[in-house]
Structure 1
Amino acid sequence: MAPFTSEAVDTSGVPTYFGSFPVKTSNCEALPTIRDALRLTIQRCTVPGSKERKKAEYRHTNPTGHLFGLCLPMVEKNRLKYAVQLVELLCIVDDVMEDLPFGEACIEHAVLRQALYEKYDKDQYAGLAVGGLKSFLRELRVELLCQKDPNNAALLRTLDVSLHKRDSVDVEFENLETYIPYRKTNFDYDFVCKLIRWSSTIPLELAEEEEKTARKYEHSIGVIVGLTNDYFSWEMEHRQPTDRIRNAIAVLMKEHGSLSDKQAKSTLKDVIVDEEQKAWRLKSEIDANEFFSTDLKKYVLALQLFAAGYSFWCATSPRYGPFFSSDQDQS
């Protein structure tokens, strides 16, 4: 199959978007598929009237464009449903876990991972908070593996590793350098990269030299999306009742001591802008190299569009405000 039709997004009227990457969206043609996949995922993975249900529904009220249309404009039509369901499931997992003490969150992640193994299919233990998520993920696993595509199994293995690692570190980071690897892990970034490849029919592993180049570009994009999320979510996150704040602004305040959160936010913006320039330079080198494959160049473009769409969504999301005013407090 082919991707949905996408079109460029005019970002000039959005002062909160400071990214330099061009933004595209497939919202117009892909929206019915996205909405159907979301409706099923939210209904199955959250309880009516619960905090998680309200947050999931509110997450997708951005009037400038839908999260998945903005982030995944190159996804194949027959794989968009699965990409939406898997990412939304992880977003709901994050909403559930952030309110749990660290030790309980680790246990709940372990319970959820059982859904990825056939040997646990008769185990009906639902944990304290992940029952609906577990049964939904189990059904997704069965559906994907029934397609007999070895790439599907590889994708699910990456998801298992991501769930194992995503909230497994209970430390206070002393500087941005040590925080960034954690931020990428907590963002499920390795899985997101594999999902972008899988859903865009790009090989999950490229030739050795191309894979090294791809990983280098992945790193820059991971820094950009992880820190951009921290930049826009700070006002929401630092008010949350939790035993762990995982945000680069808090890390920078601790690293530099005398910085206010406003100053730290400005510093973080500079870091993101610098990383974008690195990514631009590397992409230009890749595009100009006639010996690099079409698959690598396609993947680099897909990652750039992912970062652009996600950054634009964060910059305009009512969840993070204040670009759009809202009477709802969904923090």
Structure 2
Amino acid sequence: MAPFPSQPVDTVSVASYFSSFPVRNCEHDALRTIQTALKSAIYSCTAPGTKERRKAEYRHKNPAGNLFGLCLTLCEAERVGYVAQFIEFLCIVDDVMEDLPFMEACSEHAILREALSDGYQNQGYDDLVISRLRKFLRDIRMELMSENDPSSLLLLRILDNSLHHRDSLDVEFLTLDDYIPYRKMNFDYEFVCQLLRWAMKIPLRFSPEEELLVSRYEHSIGVIVGLTNDYFSWEMERNQPTDRLRNAVAVLMKEHSIPEPEAKVILKKYITDEEKRAIELKHEMNCNADDFELATRYLAALELFAAGYSFWCSTCPRYHRIQKE
């Protein structure tokens, strides 16, 4: 198969969208596939009437565009559903874990990872939320393993590693440079990159020469999406009851001893400067497009992913009309 057809999105009228990346949306043709995948993930991972279910459903009430329709425009059509399920699962995990004390969150991540191991036993847990998440993860693992595709097996190993490291540092970040590696890790960014490659049916590893260029571009896109999320989610996160506030706005306020509005200005400039670096790196790869055809296509997919995610963050009710619990 091929990707779902996509159309350009007019971003000029959306004042909150400050990215220079062009946005596309495949929602018109992909929506049924996406909605089926989301229903499966949300209904499997959350119980009716719970805070987790309400958060998940509210996440996808954006009249400006569906999150996955905006982000997955170069993924193969038959794998878009899987990508939506994996990312929605991780979003629900994030919603659950951010409400837990640090050590308890680490323990729950370890319990989740058992579902990805060969020695998994389907024993019950008092925490019904974790039980639901474990079962969903186990089911999708078994489904992918039945295909006996080496790339799917590698993808599951990368997911296991991501769950192991996410939210695993209980430290106070004093500078933005210190915070960025954690932000990418907590965003499950390495897994997201591999998930995009897998969904495009391109190599999960390129040649060493290609991988060197690609990894630099991946880093820039990771900085952009992670910090863009922080920029737009700050108003929602600032008053959350948690023992660890993870947001670049808070880091910058502390690093420079400045108030919140100034920190947001600095963060916005940092994001746009990183976009310029990404554009330069993409141009460098495009100069070798004949030699690096698949890698060049992957870079285009990363840019569209970042653009779609930034547009969604800039328009979604989740960050602009904070949900009443």
Partner Cα distance (1:39, 1:70) in 2: 18
Paired position in structure 2 for 1:202: 202
Partner Cα distance (1:329, 1:84) in 2: 22
Q: Is the 8 A contact 1:55 1:330 kept in 2?
A: no
Structure 1: which 5+ runs fail to align? none
Deviation digits for residues 56-97 of structure 1 (CA, Å, limit 9, x no counterpart): 000000001000010111111111111111000000000000
Within a 5 Å distance, the mapping from 1:1-331 to structure 2 comes to 1-125=1-125, 127=127, 129-257=129-257, 259-290=258-289, 292-321=291-320, 326=321, 329-330=323-324
CA offset at residue 117 of structure 1? 1.1
Partner Cα distance (1:225, 1:7) in 2: 21
- TM-score by structure 1 length? 0.96
CA offset at residue 6 of structure 1? 0.6
Partner Cα distance (1:39, 1:67) in 2: 14
Change (3 A) 1:32 1:251: same
Partner Cα distance (2:68, 2:269) in 1: 27
Partner Cα distance (2:147, 2:252) in 1: 46
Change (3 A) 1:3 1:106: same
CA offset at residue 290 of structure 1? 4.5
Q: Is the 8 A contact 2:159 2:191 kept in 1?
A: yes
Partner Cα distance (1:319, 1:292) in 2: 42
Partner Cα distance (1:28, 1:101) in 2: 41
CA offset at residue 289 of structure 1? 1.9
Letter in 1 for 2:218: E
- More displaced, 278-287 or 228-237? 278-287
CA offset at residue 128 of structure 1? 6.4
Q: Is the 8 A contact 1:210 1:292 kept in 2?
A: no
Partner Cα distance (1:207, 1:118) in 2: 31
Q: Is the 8 A contact 1:108 1:127 kept in 2?
A: no
Q: Is the 8 A contact 1:144 1:152 kept in 2?
A: yes
Letter in 1 for 2:281: L
Letter in 2 for 1:152: S
Q: Is the 8 A contact 1:174 1:254 kept in 2?
A: yes
Structure 2: which 5+ runs fail to align? none
Secondary structure, aligned partner of 1:21: coil
CA offset at residue 291 of structure 1? 5.2
Q: Is the 8 A contact 1:67 1:310 kept in 2?
A: yes
CA offset at residue 121 of structure 1? 3.1
Letter in 2 for 1:329: Q
Partner Cα distance (2:48, 2:256) in 1: 44
Partner Cα distance (1:228, 1:290) in 2: 29
Partner Cα distance (1:221, 1:41) in 2: 26
Counting aligned pairs with the same residue, the percent is: 58
Letter in 1 for 2:43: Q
Partner Cα distance (1:130, 1:290) in 2: 45
CA offset at residue 330 of structure 1? 4.3
Secondary structure, aligned partner of 1:319: helix
CA offset at residue 47 of structure 1? 1.1
- More displaced, 185-194 or 111-120? 111-120
Change (3 A) 1:74 1:126: farther
